[in-house]
Chain A
Amino acid sequence: MEIVFVLLDDLAFLIGVTLLYSSPLIFTGLGGVVTESTGVVNIGLEGMMTLGAFAAASVAYYTADPWLGFLAGGVAGGLLALLHALATVRFGADHIISGIAVNFLGPGLALFVSRLIFNGATQTLTVPNKIPKLFDGVFPSKSFFDLILKQDATVYIALVLVVVVWFVLYRTVLGLRLRSVGEHPLAADTLGLSVERLKTYGVVASGVLAGWGGAAMSIAVVARFSPGLISGQGFIALAAMIFGKWTPHGTLAACLFFGLAKGLEVYLGTRFPIPGTLLAMLPYILTILVLVGFVGKARPPRAVGQPFLKERHS
Chain B
Amino acid sequence: MKRVFTAAVLAALMAACAQQGDSSAVKIAMVTDVGGVNDQSFNQGAWEGLQRAQLELGIKASYVESNQDADYVPNLQSLMDAKNQLIWGIGFKMGQAIYEAAKNNPDYKFAIIDFAYDNTPANLIGVVFKAEEASFLVGYIAGKMTKTGTVGFVGGIKGNVIDGFDYGYHAGVNFANRQVKILRQYAESFTDAAKGKVITLEMYRQGADIVYHAAGGVGDGVIEAARESNRWAIGVDRDQNYLAPDNVLTSAMKRVDNAIYNIAKELVEGRWPGGKTIVYGLKEGGVDIAPSTSKHVPVNILAEVEELKKKIMAGEIVVPYNEASYNDWLAKLK
Contacts and interface: CB of A to CB of B under 8 A. Distances in A.
A267 interface: yes
B205 A142 contact: yes
Contacts of A263: 198
Given A120-B38, A122-B38, A223-B224, A266 B192 contact: no
Given A229-B191, A267-B202, A276-B188, A222 B221 contact: yes
B39 A13 contact: no
Contact of B220 (A222, A231, A280): A222
Interface size range on A against B: 35 or more
Nearest to A121: B38
Given A227-B217, A266-B198, A269-B185, 11 more contacts: A21-B194, A115-B36, A115-B38, A120-B36, A121-B38, A121-B40, A227-B35, A229-B193, A262-B194, A270-B199, A280-B188
Contacts of B183: 270
B194 A223 contact: no
B329 interface: no
6 contacts: A118-B38, A120-B38, A226-B193, A228-B217, A229-B217, A229-B220
Contact of A20 (B158, B192, B197, B227): B197
A20 B198 contact: yes
A311 B39 CA distance: 50
A120 B202 contact: no
B220 A120 contact: no
B285 interface: no
A217 interface: yes
Contacts of B244: 126
A228 B103 CA distance: 33
Nearest to B36: A122
A177 B47 CA distance: 57
A277 interface: yes
A226 B220 contact: yes
A123 interface: yes
Nearest to B184: A270
Given A13-B205, A21-B194, A222-B221, A122 B39 contact: yes
A-B pairs, 3 with minimum CB distance: A228-B191, A120-B38, A280-B188
Contacts, number: 99
Contact of A276 (B39, B158, B203, B216): B158
A17 interface: yes
A17 B36 contact: no
A95 interface: no
Contacts of B108: none
Contact of A123 (B40, B195, B206): B40
Contact of A222 (B193, B201, B202): B193
Contacts of A24: 194
A119 interface: yes
A112 to B, nearest CB: 10
B38 A231 contact: no
Interface in B164-217: 183, 185-195, 197-199, 201-203, 205-206, 216-217
B61 to A, nearest CB: 16
Interface in A19-48: 20-21, 24
B25 to A, nearest CB: 25
A314 B34 CA distance: 50
A113 interface: no
Interface string B7-41: 00000000000000000000000000011111110
Contacts of A126: 242-244
A270 B185 CA distance: 6
A179 interface: no
A56 to B, nearest CB: 14
Contact of A217 (B39, B194, B242): B194
Contacts of A217: 193-194
Given A126-B243, A270-B206, A221 B191 contact: no
Contacts of A266: 185, 195, 198-199, 202
A175 to B, nearest CB: 32
A121 B36 CA distance: 7
A245 interface: no
A289 to B, nearest CB: 20
A280 B193 CA distance: 15
Nearest to B243: A126
Nearest to B183: A270
Contacts of B227: 223
A231 B35 contact: no
A262 B38 contact: no
A120 B34 CA distance: 13
A54 to B, nearest CB: 14
Interface in A198-234: 217, 221-224, 226-229, 231
